[in-house]
């Protein structure tokens, strides 16, 4: 079928379409219906069908005769380690790890928090949880102790799986102090913490709570896959919300497996035996979907890379990995390519490698700016495909269907809606807008398989965050428009979540941390354009009366506080001290006006009719100029 025929079939008769796709997978009990409602009125996919996602990702391929095919290739330029696992070897490791977890009392429905760097054990841990029907929650290894503690309290895990350290380029980051501090802060106490010992850092085994991965694996016996309902949660993945409290996105097992398998073929044009490299981290949704579950369910070979686009050792790192492992498709965030372009604008490192294997390059996680797209397209002479999706959806909403019918590229557009996504542009009152008019991007219900059915233990917040604003639709919280050809243009968030190097971060959470400083009376954090990372947070702070702290000191203090409470990934480096913040008469800070002032001259920024003090906008504009921010950088 053509793209249009495929998309229309998925919209006009979603049950028939997705039931057909479900039959492409090996179920323990095949579903007889596609879409149903649960007791809370939530739309669920393939309820009554039973499967095990780890079995689909591993055992099914071994049983089909592909046990000797490479499943996982591990490459760590920061440690010098490399490894390769066939499907049979990975299945056996996962079965053993599942047995280890079973010995620790983990069973179906129990939660396990995974706080690991990009090592094979992180993937093995995820699949081992899935094998038992346990629910994993992976926490990005770059997050600080407080962020880990919040997630431990929300997920209430029986076990925490971690490693002795992570490695950032040439800096070793011991994880045990972070985990210990997180558990000190958390109200929930897991039964134990299991450490993968790495040679770069030792573990202090003084606490009976701390156990060794290797020792436990030697004692364990393999566990068979557990059959679970299609609606059984596979994982919880936390994403930033406007309140500062992370939202625990729940992912169903069956719908996710079906959607990922469809997307690997339709979007990425990948098939059993192909090598797919996604340069991300398993702590993010991209890692869950397209490092771990998607490629393995599809029967591809996936690459786990512990390194950076630059400095490990140079700006040719990505080209080396593509060349050595013969990747057919490559997926990363635009930030990575901006870093490579900055260090090697003429792409001289590329000349050292044979990347003739590479057919398509995919980017997502943040806006693909035209200069980066043009540099990539000219440098690689291959299709560069921008696509748009969210932690909540788990797989692409809008993309170029390279495996169905590649479409002409339009600069600035992520191309067309994928199967099951009926996208509309609505004004703030919920009225649908015509082609070319910008508004709120919303998806008409039902959402396709793989998208979140709820938030962990917070159905009320799920409805408030996504469903209540536009009844009958899922609110993406992104703004944009659709042109006369149906191409979707995503213009950015309409809430207070910013995108730093492809990672969503809450400005509200940063403001809470900054507000704890003894010298700060009030503050506003906004995202301001950065050539490399897309956006960077900038804090505008009002000091308490009588405070005589120096600019350098307040900047150092707040940068350190953000690093300690949220993590270095938040990248707060600029702090502007002002006398007052622009507010409405009711006291609401006009963050949108601050963001606009970073893009346009003061005389071009309209003055809101509700503003309390017009001079506050002038002061913000002066501060932006003085600190060389935004358009003045």
Output the domain CATH number for residue 136.
3.40.50.980
Q: Mean of the pLDDT values across residues 593-614?
A: 82
**Residue 572 covered by a domain:** yes
- The 10s digit of each residue's pLDDT in 138-173 is 999 988 999 999 999 999 999 999 999 999 998 999
Output the domain CATH number for residue 594.
3.30.300.30
pLDDT attached to residue 198: 98
Please state the domain count of the chain: 2
Q: Mean of the pLDDT values across residues 35-53?
A: 94
pLDDT attached to residue 578: 93
Q: Please choose, from the candidates 283, 308, 330, the residue with its C-alpha nearest in 3D space to the C-alpha of residue 143.
A: 283
Name every residue whose Cβ is closer than 8 Å to that of residue 348 and which is 6 or more positions away in sequence.
Answer: none
- Give strand ranges (E) for 262-316: 275-278, 301-305
Q: What are phi and psi of 630, to 5 degrees?
A: 55, -125
pLDDT beyond 80 at 385? yes
Q: Helices 507-515 & 551-565, crossing angle to 10 degrees?
A: 120
**Residue 119 covered by a domain:** yes
**Residue 619 covered by a domain:** yes
**Residue 354 covered by a domain:** no
DSSP string for residues in 498-541: EEETTEEEEHHHHHHHHHTSTTEEEEEEEEEEETTTEEEEEEEE
User: Would you call 301 helix, strand, or coil by DSSP?
Assistant: strand
pLDDT attached to residue 335: 81
Can you give the pTM of this predicted structure?
Answer: 0.86
Domain end marker among 203, 226, 249? 226
**Residue 274 covered by a domain:** no
**Residue 178 covered by a domain:** yes
Q: Mean of the pLDDT values across residues 264-282?
A: 98
Using 50, 70 and 90 to split pLDDT, how confident is the model at 494?
Answer: confident
Which structural domain range is residue 194 located in? 91-226
**Residue 484 covered by a domain:** no
**Residue 561 covered by a domain:** yes
Considering only 183-187, 477-481, 569-573, which range has the smallest mean pLDDT? Answer: 569-573
pLDDT attached to residue 243: 61
pLDDT beyond 80 at 9? yes
pLDDT beyond 90 at 598? no
Helices H / strands E in the chain, number of each: 20, 31
- The 10s digit of each residue's pLDDT in 57-80 is 999 999 999 999 999 999 999 999
pLDDT beyond 90 at 334? no
Domain end marker among 226, 257, 282? 226
Domain end marker among 184, 204, 226? 226
């Amino acid at each position: 079928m053509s793209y249009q025929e495929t998309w229309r079939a998925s919209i006009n008769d979603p049950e028939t379409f997705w039931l057909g796709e479900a039959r492409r997978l090996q179920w323990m009990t095949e579903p007889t219906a596609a879409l149903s409602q649960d007791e809370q009125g939530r739309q669920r996919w393939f309820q009554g069908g039973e499967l095990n996602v780890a079995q689909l990702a591993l055992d099914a391929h071994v049983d089909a005769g592909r046990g000797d095919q490479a499943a996982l290739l591990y490459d760590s330029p920061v440690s010098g380690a490399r490894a390769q696992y066939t499907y049979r070897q990975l299945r056996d490791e996962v079965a053993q790890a599942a047995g280890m977890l079973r010995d620790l009392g983990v069973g179906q429905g129990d939660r396990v928090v995974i706080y690991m760097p990009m090592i094979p054990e992180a993937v093995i841990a995820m699949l081992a949880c899935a094998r038992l029907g346990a629910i994993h929650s992976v926490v990005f290894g770059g997050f600080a102790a407080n962020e880990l503690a919040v997630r431990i309290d929300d997920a209430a895990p029986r076990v925490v799986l971690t490693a002795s350290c992570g490695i950032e380029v040439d800096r070793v980051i011991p994880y045990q102090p972070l985990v210990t501090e997180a558990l000190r802060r958390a109200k929930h106490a897991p039964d134990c913490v299991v450490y993968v010992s790495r040679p770069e850092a030792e573990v202090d085994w003084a606490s009976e709570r701390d156990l060794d991965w290797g020792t436990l694996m030697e004692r364990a016996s393999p566990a068979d896959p557990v059959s679970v309902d299609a609606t059984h949660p596979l994982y919880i993945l936390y994403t930033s919300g406007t309140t500062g409290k992370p939202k625990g996105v729940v992912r169903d097992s069956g719908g996710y497996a079906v959607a990922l398998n469809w997307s690997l073929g339709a979007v990425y044009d990948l098939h059993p035996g192909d090598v797919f490299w996604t340069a991300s981290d398993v702590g993010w949704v991209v890692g869950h979907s397209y490092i771990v579950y998607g490629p393995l369910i599809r029967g591809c070979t996936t690459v786990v890379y512990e390194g950076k686009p630059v400095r490990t050792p140079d700006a040719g790192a990505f080209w080396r990995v593509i060349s050595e492992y013969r990747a057919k498709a490559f997926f990363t965030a635009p930030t990575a390519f901006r870093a490579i372009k900055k260090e090697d604008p003429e792409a001289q490192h590329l000349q050292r490698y044979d990347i003739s294997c590479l057919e398509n390059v995919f980017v997502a996680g943040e806006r693909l700016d035209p200069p980066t797209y043009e540099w990539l397209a000219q440098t690689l002479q291959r299709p560069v495909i921008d696509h748009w999706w969210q932690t909540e959806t788990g797989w692409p909403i809008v993309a170029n269907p390279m495996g169905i019918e590649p479409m002409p590229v339009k600069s600035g557009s992520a191309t067309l809606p994928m199967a099951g996504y009926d996208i509309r542009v609505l004004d703030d009152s919920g009225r649908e807008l015509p082609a070319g008019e910008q508004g709120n991007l919303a998806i008409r219900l039902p959402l396709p398989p793989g998208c979140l059915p709820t938030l962990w233990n917070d159905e009320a917040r799920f409805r408030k965050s996504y469903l209540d604003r536009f009844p009958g639709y899922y609110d993406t919280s992104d703004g944009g428009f659709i042109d006369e050809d149906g191409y979707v243009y995503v213009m950015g968030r309409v809430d207070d979540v910013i995108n730093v190097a492809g990672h969503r971060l809450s400005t509200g959470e940063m403001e809470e941390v900054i507000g704890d400083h003894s010298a700060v009376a009030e503050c506003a954090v906004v995202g301001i354009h950065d050539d490399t990372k897309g956006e960077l947070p900038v804090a505008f702070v009002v000091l308490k009366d009588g405070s005589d702290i120096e600019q350098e000191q307040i900047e150092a203090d707040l940068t350190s506080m953000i690093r300690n409470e949220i993590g270095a990934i938040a990248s707060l480096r600029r702090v502007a001290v002002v006398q007052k913040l622009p507010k409405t008469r009711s006291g609401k800070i006009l963050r949108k006006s601050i963001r606009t002032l970073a893009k346009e001259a003061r005389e071009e920024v309209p003055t809101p009719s509700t503003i309390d003090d017009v001079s506050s906008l002038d002061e913000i504009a002066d501060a932006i100029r003085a600190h060389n921010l935004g358009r003045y950088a």
